Amino acid sequence: MGKKDKQFVEKVTAMEEDFAQWYTDVVKQADLVDYASVRGSMIIRPYGYAIWENIRDVLDKKIKDTGHQNMYFPLFIPESLLQKEKDHIEGFAPEVAWVTHGGSEELQERLVVRPTSEVLFAEHYSKIIHSYRDLPKLYNQWSNVVRWEKTTRPFLRSLEFLWQEGHTCHATEQDAAEETRKMLDVYATVCEDFLAIPVIKGRKTEKEKFAGANYTLTIESLMHDGKALQTGTSHHLGTGFAEAFDITYSDENGNQQYVHQTSWGITTRLIGALIMVHGDNRGLVVPPRVAPTQVMIVPIAQHKEGVLERAYELKGQVAEFARVDIDASDKMPGWKFNEYEMKGIPLRLEVGPKDIEKNQVVLVRRDTGEKSFVAMDELSTIIPALLEDIQQTLYDRALAHREEKTTNVTTFAEFKQALEQNPGFVEAMWCEDKACEENIKEETGATSRCIPFEQENRAGHCVCCGKEATQLVYWAKAY
């Protein structure tokens, strides 16, 4: 490693030393965000936003393909509207921003900057749904929301974030249950197939469910440091909002019925997950399928005759099958190598005078650092194959990490030991008593992440109280 390289790499704290600092360094050095003058707010820089656009486009297509339509609801919610559903207002009131003045006038009623839009959708649904023929209603919104968090971190927890929120109405509880599960599966596909992040699908406990929901389904992922991150949630709202907002329909027999609702969302948090699942001490690693740039061309000895011309020709060639860019600036190749490693671009393509002589290029994988010499006329087969291989390698690596960091325990002593010696998921039986859940959190710092759909069929005893238990639960310290 040359001196220049070393200096550059040293800008990022090693993750083994201080994971939180490593995260902050990568977020800044990879040029994903900058800080704004309102505490806890972030500016999403072009590179970070381009990753978000790719995630959004993939998910938006799936949302539409499953029959949903996009809408746009107002940013402001009158206080009285938010208060209509009791659990909901209790859950959100402590963390909302209040608008009290418009221009120079004090408002007669305070407005909430939406922390989520259940009540706005509910009010609208109560107006537009009359008959069973109007069901289901399958709407989604892409928007910004605000939550007045005390401690914040870019992407993971910020005053404002970007997300989509789906809100649907169905004739029966069963229809709503199927929708709740269907959208969780869509989220799982986006995470696993595009972000290369393995997820565990399951249900939240009563304590951890969404304020106002019957139940919440979740996908949970494990970060490098052994902490869990909730990567998406899908809520079965039952008839709670329908009762509060009088959303009814007349069924085929002319009887008035409440609709059954769902809501589901993913946020810019996914970028935080991407960083903490794939990143390393050289910076970010972006899975090819969501990478704004999949191949970065770095010309070598570009002042020599013919090099830049050939490099630009190659760019045109590669653009046919991959998202490609070129850095023809007068910075040193070593600087460029580090810069695009920091940004996590999946493949680097080097081309210099000697390569041109031999009609070849050098390809360097970001995930493994592996270098290969490839004939120029083979790029159209080799590059797509390499990108697919990187995508799969990232996924496999993350899955192996999660499995290595998952410990199955039967006693509370083992539980504590696992969290200390091999931080990650702890699988343990639970009696479904909230007291045990709270006790575990207090004693270990771990929260229940989910009751996985895939329950191994083993009877047992609650890891906390020893009573008979039938539910296997994933526990972890979490973001």
Contacts with a second copy, residue ranges (CB under 8 A): 34, 36-38, 41-46, 49-50, 52-53, 69-78, 81, 93-104, 111, 113, 120, 123-124, 127-128, 139, 143-144, 146, 148, 159-160, 162
Residue (16 or 468) nearer to Zn ion, CB: 468
Which range in 40-48, 220-228, 389-397, 455-463 contacts Zn ion by CB under 5 A? 455-463
Residue (362 or 465) nearer to Zn ion, CB: 465
Cα atoms found within 13 Å of the Cα of residue 47, Cβ hemisphere only: 20
**DSSP 8-state symbol, 208:** T
Residue that the structure tokens 């009088």 belong to = 246
| Both structure tokens of 107 | 């408002």
Residues 6+ apart with CB under 8 A from 54: 289, 290, 291, 292
**Does position 122 bind Zn ion by CB under 5 A?**
no
Residue (81 or 190) nearer to a second copy, CB: 81
| Both structure tokens of 169 | 């109405």
Binding site partner of 478, from a second copy, Zn ion, none, Cβ cut-off 5-8 A by kind: none
Residue that the structure tokens 């608008």 belong to = 99
Which range in 7-15, 55-63, 442-450, 465-473 contacts Zn ion by CB under 5 A? 465-473
Residue (75 or 478) nearer to a second copy, CB: 75
Binding site partner of 363, from a second copy, Zn ion, none, Cβ cut-off 5-8 A by kind: none
Size of the site for Zn ion (CB under 5 A): 6
Q: How far is the CB of 358 from a second copy (least distance, A)?
A: 34
Binding site partner of 36, from Zn ion, a second copy, none, Cβ cut-off 5-8 A by kind: a second copy
Residue that the structure tokens 């993350």 belong to = 398
Q: How far apart are alpha carbons 271 and 52 in whole angstroms?
A: 7
List Cα–Cα distances, 57 to 60, 112, 293, 376, 427, in angstroms: 5, 29, 16, 32, 35
Contact 249, 171 (CB under 8 A): yes
Residues in region 422-441 near Zn ion by CB under 5 A: 431, 433, 436
- Helix 269-278 crosses helix 46-65 at what angle (to 10 degrees)? 110
Q: Which of 159, 151, 167, 155 is nearest to 119 (CA)?
A: 167
Residue (82 or 451) nearer to Zn ion, CB: 451
Residue (8 or 139) nearer to a second copy, CB: 139
Q: How far is the CB of 114 from Zn ion (least distance, A)?
A: 38
Binding site partner of 440, from a second copy, Zn ion, none, Cβ cut-off 5-8 A by kind: none
Residue (82 or 191) nearer to a second copy, CB: 82
**DSSP state string for 183-231:** HHHHHHHIIIIIS----EEEE--TTTS-TT-SEEEEEEEE-TTS-EEEE
Q: How far apart are alpha carbons 334 and 3 in whole angstroms?
A: 10
- Helix 434-444 crosses helix 412-421 at what angle (to 10 degrees)? 40
Residue (123 or 350) nearer to a second copy, CB: 123
Q: How far is the CB of 385 from a second copy (least distance, A)?
A: 28
Binding site partner of 124, from Zn ion, a second copy, none, Cβ cut-off 5-8 A by kind: a second copy
Binding site partner of 155, from a second copy, Zn ion, none, Cβ cut-off 5-8 A by kind: none
- Binding residue for Zn ion, selected from 465, 470, 471, 478, defined by CB under 5 A: 465
Binding site partner of 41, from a second copy, Zn ion, none, Cβ cut-off 5-8 A by kind: a second copy
Contact 125, 259 (CB under 8 A): yes
Q: Which of 439, 443, 409, 442 is nearest to 424 (CA)?
A: 409
Q: How far is the CB of 216 from Zn ion (least distance, A)?
A: 21
Q: How far apart are alpha carbons 289 and 286 in whole angstroms?
A: 8
3-state secondary structure 358-410: CCEEEEEECCCCCEEEEEHHHHHHHHHHHHHHHHHHHHHHHHHHHHHCEEECC
**Does position 464 bind Zn ion by CB under 5 A?**
yes
Residue (77 or 318) nearer to a second copy, CB: 77
Contact 448, 474 (CB under 8 A): yes
| Both structure tokens of 468 | 């008979």
Residue (42 or 472) nearer to a second copy, CB: 42
Binding site partner of 160, from Zn ion, a second copy, none, Cβ cut-off 5-8 A by kind: a second copy
Binding site partner of 435, from Zn ion, a second copy, none, Cβ cut-off 5-8 A by kind: none
Binding site partner of 465, from a second copy, Zn ion, none, Cβ cut-off 5-8 A by kind: Zn ion
Q: Which residues bind Zn ion (CB under 5 A)?
A: 431, 433, 436, 462, 464-465
